[in-house]
Amino acid sequence: MVRVTSQLKMLTPAAWASVLCGLLLGFPPLVGMEPMGGAKLDPDHAPSVEPLPSSSGSNCSDLTLKLEFSTKVVEHEYIIGFTGYFSAKARSLYISSALRNAADAALEWRIVPRQNPASDFPSDFELVHIRQASPGSLLTLEDHPYIKRVTPQRKVFRMLKYTPSPEPAAPCNATRSWQSSRPFRRTSLSLGTGFWHATGRHSSRRLLRAIPRHVAQILQADVLWQMGHTGSGVKVAVFDTGLSEKHPHFKNVKERTNWTNEKTLDDGLGHGTFVAGVIASMRECQGFAPDSELHIFRVFTNNQVSYTSWFLDAFNYAILKKIDVLNLSIGGPDFMDHPFVDKVWELTANKVIMVSAIGNDGPLYGTLNNPADQMDVIGVGGIDFEDNIARFSSRGMTTWELPGGYGRVKPDIVTYGSGVRGSGMKEGCRSLSGTSVASPVVAGAVTLLASTVLNRELVNPASMKQALIASARRLPGVNMFEQGHGKLDLIRAYQILNSYKPQASLSPSYIDLTESPYMWPYCSQPIYYGGMPTIVNVTILNGMGVTGRIVDKPVWQPYLPQNGDHIDVAVSYAPVLWPWAGYLAVSISVAKKAASWEGVAQGHVMVTVASPAENDSEAGGELTSTVKLPIKVKIVPTPPRSKRVLWDQYHNLRYPPGYFPRDNLRMKNDPLDWNGDHIHTNFKDMYQHLRSMGYFVEVLGAPITCFDASQYGTLLMVDSEEEYFPEEITKLRRDIDNGLSLIVFSDWYNTSVMRKVKFYDENTRQWWMPDTGGANVPALNDLISVWGMAFSDGLYEGDFTLADHDMYYASGCSIARFPEDGIVIAKNLKDQGLEVLKQETAVVEGVPILGLYQTPSDGGGRIALYGDSNCIDDSHRQKDCFWLLDALLQYTSYSMTPPSLSHSHSRVAPPTGAERPLPQRLEGNHLYRYSKVLEAHLGDPKPRPLPACPHLSWAKPQPLNETAPSNLWKHQKLLSVDLDKVALPNMRAYRPQVRPLSPGESGAWDIPGGIMPGRYNQEVGQTIPVFAFLGAMVVLSFFVVQLTKSKSKPKRRKPRIKRPTYLQQQQQQPAATTGKNPAV
């Protein structure tokens, strides 16, 4: 009793009240448990059934989960979307009326029945089976006033692969040395393993703590549990493979629904159970919100197959059930799958907070998956327990905006996604890795956070994302396209959310082109006069309402003492912010007066956002919020022409919208070219190399007619799939005559091979061949034909040595024609086209692959051709050829012919092109559907009229004669948020001591001093009355003693409750400004 009393004396009065209430109600104090994980999806083809390994036995295996994801179109089935929600009878009448007008006598159609929980409710789409459907009859459907869109039904395949981790399995309840994730230490995994991307922090001595890897407790969810917050009252939906009815880990499964064609609600794979456990398990490997209301949506069969229509029905039902949080373990590159994307927008517009994994396609950049790449969705990346970005975690930027604009920052945040523990399929726990392990970690945290807010009307997709990104802890040495805003900080997010007032905010919250490496790639190259404007795509988050607008125009205010008048700023923005978000594109350029100046310039852009007030009694019926976007740039004098390289982005096409195949045909499991072909995505390493060599690389997102060639030494065209305007061909010839040089990296193009690797086109609803190969060789030949050059339709691969460098030619073409006074290099390669078409192997000798040519005009430029781009493309590069790019740039920029090439023993006479005809465009191709150059025409497609060059409307500056802030980076403080006002309990975060199980002992965790929130076993229940009586007596005695002391001693001021260390540090930061229409 003495020991108990001494511990009780350490409690604060606030804690006393909690203890007393718990004892009198028969519950011991609540302590934290243990969380789990989920998994993410990649692309592949055939479905595979591999259930989660059994959890029976004494060991908890640590598995790496690889999810592969692919889709195909279901023949003859179409999703007909309507402009509103209608009954089944009304939908049938509208379709009948529309098809009655189709002049197609052979048309056969029927409505495909959908037997699921949403069948009894109005819907905004119908699934129709149409045979002999001509494009005309489908267009007739879209002409109906109540039909919004007709798209093909898609079949989704997902394959789960569980791979044991290299380290040995540990007992389920064993402890292991684990380095705290707090800032007082830093250690990284061996760089030799290459599995984790190091953050660049220094190693140091660190405190090792023997605790299990419990994600919820590592993120301090137990602090909120002890405050009584356990997810109660929040509806969370898991879209996955289902859940067993009597799984021992879950106590509040409100509803299980099946949206597949299988007659079961149970999970036959274990993935859905794992994800649900990360969010809401209440024992063993405990989730974040054990008392949340769990809604299980079974949208995948045991064969891991799903359909778009299943998701659409399930999404509609989630809206009907007023789901609060939705975790979606699916993703893919198709951000133009309109029915799916539109429904995600509708979900978030109905205040559903959607959390989705960003993708498992890292470390390649430009690999974000949809829907996690959408502005209204919380996209989650993965880290390990040492705060290293997971190698598998997809990187930004988004590629929606290419070629004219620039991508947005994604992921939004990162959290633990490696070795996370989650519920087994029937019982027990498993450890898995993947970004969709990280996704349910955030979904569980969001569910727990939502339950802490008294006024639930304040919780919406924007306010929750604002709280998460404003509270995130930035990881040192990691750029924003890897970590987003940083690592999830649950406690800081709780503090922000519980003092939150509706407002707008920006992501990123500032633009600092001098901050490295976080602001990569902006920080990697200074700006200068005459360069292409630097575009920063900022996301506006509007926590005031689902819809909003920007009032008047954004205002540019340069700081005169910090040379702000040396830069010009143009701003374009979304006319309507919906749902909850919009874009703010900021273009930055250097003023003419700074052409020879070097230094740092600063200013800021002021933006005011307005949203309709839910309560019309508000002044003016609108809520407004003004936000500030600080800008800081490094300016250098304009570099010489020879150092400036212009990357042609305008003529690169990628999936979606069209089917553009990979440049390397060996990559059969990744057949689509979907990474954007940008210097900051799959050509990142090439860009970094050129910068290290002193070159300045700019991006052309407009036609060739829209740049001043006298400013640049070399135009770099890599893997071009687009056609060329006649005006572009004429201008390029004139520019090269005047000194501009050209480097072309081509790829394969062979119509027979294109027919062999056919795809099902979603737009024409029929099987068809790719409209181009790896590159559009016929278009490139039109561009360079004036100099007597051309590429062939040969398709070659193989290893060779060039200038003492090992090289690999991956599905490249050859040079078919070249001027006789040029330099041509040839190598012996395998005929890959023959292998693809006839499965035969043959070696072709003397294949021309590289050509160098000096144009004859006085002062004319130089041209270099190479038949393969894979050696500079990060996607599937096996051996880089950056040395060759250096040599070609030395030739084009400085007219220095590399001796290793001009005197190479592989040099041959230039080919004349008489041996075989040049490649022709594939007959009947549909490139015009996706082209910016071509348009449909009777007969062959014709070029569109040349578009006008982009014109930026520079903002009129409103100078400020005041000093700018020196450091723009600080934790983004939302308006009217004071972390000190949100008190936390003054108690140590409980870290339960666990031990190995004894023979015959229960598999539940042994947690001294308490039990899981809302659940206790029979033995504990029998001892509760005794503890309650003793506890009540101790409490009564304590208060009698305190009362006696207070009467005998003078009153003293009550000591202030000591706050946690990290809160004291935050008190030193400047307080956020407050006001009705505040500004940041």
Please identify every residue annotated as catalytic.
240, 271, 436
Place of tokens 């005047």: 738
> What is the C-alpha to C-alpha distance for residues 317 and 352, in angstroms, rounded to an integer?
12
User: Does a cis peptide bond (omega within 30 degrees of 0) precede residue 848?
Assistant: no
SS3 98: helix
Q: Is 80 exposed, middle or buried (0-12, 13-18, 19+ CB in 10 A)?
A: buried
Angstrom distance (rounded) from CA 58 to CA 998? 10
Residue whose pair of structure tokens reads 């040079």 in the numeric block? 815
Beta-carbon contacts of 722 under 8 Å, excluding residues fewer than 6 positions away, are 650, 651, 652, 653, 776, 779, 931, 932, 933
- Residue 865: φ, ψ to 5°: -120, 135
Q: What is the DSSP string of 47-93?
A: -B--PPPP--SSEE-BEEEEEEEEEEEEEEEEEEEEEEEE-HHHHHH
CA distance linking residue 548 with residue 612, whole number of Å? 7
| DSSP 8-state secondary structure symbol assigned to residue 510 | -
Angle at 842 between CA 840 and CA 843, to 5 degrees: 160
Cα–Cα dist 395/362, whole Å:
6
CA–CA gap between residue 460 and residue 542 (Å, rounded): 10
804 torsion bin: left (phi>0), alpha (psi -120 to 50), beta (else): left
Check: CB of residue 829 under 8 Å from CB of residue 801. Answer: no
How distant, in Å, are the alpha carbons of 15, 27, 517, 989 from that of 18? 5, 11, 46, 15
User: Can you tell me the distance from the alpha carbon of 189 to that of 551, in angstroms, rounded to the nearest whole number?
Assistant: 50
- Nearest one of 76, 141, 145, 75 to 102, comparing CA atoms: 141
Q: Which residue, among 855, 833, 830, has the nearest Cα to 777 in the 3D structure? A: 833
Spatial CB neighbours of 585, under 8 Å, sequence gap ≥ 6 = 405, 406, 535, 536, 537, 538, 571, 572, 573
User: How many other β-carbons are positioned within 10 Å of the β-carbon of residue 894?
Assistant: 12
Strand partners, 413: 380
Q: Can you spell out the DSSP letters for 170-232? A: EETT---EEE--STT------GGG-SEE---PPP----EEE----HHHHTTHHHHHHTT-SST
Three state DSSP letters for 615-665: CCCCHHHEEEEEEEEEEEEEECCCCCHHHEEEEECCCCCCCCCCCCECCCC
Q: Distance between CA atoms of 165 and 617, rounded to whole angstroms? A: 60
Contacts of 162 by beta carbon, 8 Å cutoff, 6+ apart:
50, 52, 53, 63, 64, 65, 66, 432
Q: How many residues would you count in the chain?
A: 1080
Kind of pairing, strands 549-550 and 599-612?
antiparallel
Distance CA 548, CA 253 (A): 36
d(CA 325, CA 350): 11
Please check whether residue 308 is in contact with residue 154, taking contact to mean a CB–CB distance below 8 angstroms: yes
Task: Judge if the upstream peptide bond of residue 29 is cis by omega within 30 degrees of 0.
Answer: no
Q: Which among 599, 586, 474 is positioned nearest to 534, based on CA atoms?
A: 586
Give phi and psi for 908, each to the nearest 5: -130, 170
Q: What are 716's strand-pairing partners?
A: 647, 743
